[in-house]
Amino acid sequence: MVGDFLATDHWPLTTILKMLLLKYHRRIVESAQHWKDRLLDCNDGECNGPSRAWRRLSNGGGSIHLDGSRYCFPECFERRLRQRFQEMQADEIPKPRAPHRVPLGLMMLSRGHVTNAQLRRALDAQQQNGSGKIGEWIQKLGYAPELQVTGALAVQWSCPVIKSLPLNTHSNGVPVALLKMFRMVPVQFVAARRKFHFAFCGNIEYQALLAIERILCCQTEACLTTSAEVESALERIEQRGELREKTFAGPCTPEELARITSSYARRLNARSVRTTSCVNLAWVRVESHSAGDIDLLFRAAPDEPSRAHRTEIHLAG
């Protein structure tokens, strides 16, 4: 290719060098970044430092980003991962505060959707059965249709209602297990503002939205819809069969979680790992240029009968 330039004309050497620089600028920058990523700036306080840099050079171990900071792989990375999982299990990650809400029953009473007697009977049924939300009991007893209950919920949560979800809904990079766990569906992604709109039925799970914001580096907005809409949208998403996620159920020590995550990072030749927690769930995204990203979901509680928590892994290769 240098020959192409030289053969074209008898240009001064500086002109040829400039043209080469322009032509290969991106490759040079990428190469420099590659070696910088591999060799520099471990953020672990217990890192052995310069001596490890030579070791990385000689054995190709490299480094990896964890939540935006670089660590030697695997030792420093695994040490920081263990700390991270310990923090999650100690519940040290700040949780968003749920907004103050007027009770749904009172809300529906004030809007004339139910009578005093109906609300009393729904509350009695809820108490006697020891389960279910008041909105569900109001529907079950036939006092109001689901859309009306959803409308009251939307007022309660100060968010809009969407009557029907788009047929081409897909997961947009959010683990399907997470969507099913919190009965939520991605409605729209506005790329210019990196804003995700999610539809919930019943409660809006703000912890899930915050976790999505952390992992996907985006903003989120919630709306409400009926449970029938959410269930059918989740089925459509699952039928697409493009899942790249693995759910682990049952208690694990921080050491085990770190070991599993590190194993995936090694296997996928990952460049970056992101972590967050949400209710009793640790969500880890392993990002790889060569093999694609995969989500690891660690549930603290044993698996429940719901098929929502039985997500299969579909790894390339």
Q: Compute the least distance from the CB of residue 260 to Zn ion, in Å.
A: 21
Q: Compute the least distance from the CB of residue 19 to Zn ion, in Å.
A: 40
* Piece of 3-11, 39-47, 195-203, 206-214 that binds Zn ion (CB under 5 A): 39-47
Residue 44 touching Zn ion (CB under 5 A):
yes
Residue 47 touching Zn ion (CB under 5 A):
yes
Q: Compute the least distance from the CB of residue 58 to Zn ion, in Å.
A: 15
- For residues 314 and 244, the answer to whether their CB atoms sit within 8 Å is yes
* Residues composing the chain: 317
* Piece of 25-33, 66-74, 93-101, 297-305 that binds Zn ion (CB under 5 A): 66-74
* Piece of 44-52, 130-138, 163-171, 214-222 that binds Zn ion (CB under 5 A): 44-52
Q: How far apart are CA 248 and CA 108, in angstroms?
A: 40
Residue among 38, 66, 73, 76 that touches Zn ion (CB under 5 A): 76
* Piece of 70-78, 211-219, 239-247, 275-283 that binds Zn ion (CB under 5 A): 70-78
Site string for Zn ion, 226-255 (x = CB under 5 A): ------------------------------
Which residue number, 42 or 187, has a Cβ lying nearer to Zn ion? 42
Which residue number, 64 or 187, has a Cβ lying nearer to Zn ion? 64
Q: How far apart are CA 121 and CA 208, in angstroms?
A: 33
Residue 81 touching Zn ion (CB under 5 A):
no
Q: How far apart are CA 250 and CA 274, in angstroms?
A: 21
Q: Compute the least distance from the CB of residue 45 to Zn ion, in Å.
A: 9
Q: Compute the least distance from the CB of residue 56 to Zn ion, in Å.
A: 9
Q: How far apart are CA 57 and CA 39, in angstroms?
A: 7
Distances (CA, A) of 200 to 144, 158, 195, 203, 299: 19, 13, 16, 7, 21
Positions 160 through 199 that interact with Zn ion (CB under 5 A)? none
Give me 116's structure tokens. Answer: 């005093």
Q: Residue 286 carries which side chain, given as an amino acid letter?
A: V
Which residue number, 41 or 255, has a Cβ lying nearer to Zn ion? 41
* Piece of 12-20, 73-81, 98-106, 188-196 that binds Zn ion (CB under 5 A): 73-81
Which residue number, 44 or 295, has a Cβ lying nearer to Zn ion? 44
Which residue number, 47 or 223, has a Cβ lying nearer to Zn ion? 47
Residue 72 touching Zn ion (CB under 5 A):
yes
Give me 235's structure tokens. Answer: 């089925």
Which residue number, 46 or 124, has a Cβ lying nearer to Zn ion? 46
- The binding site for Zn ion (CB under 5 A) comprises 42, 44, 47, 72, 76
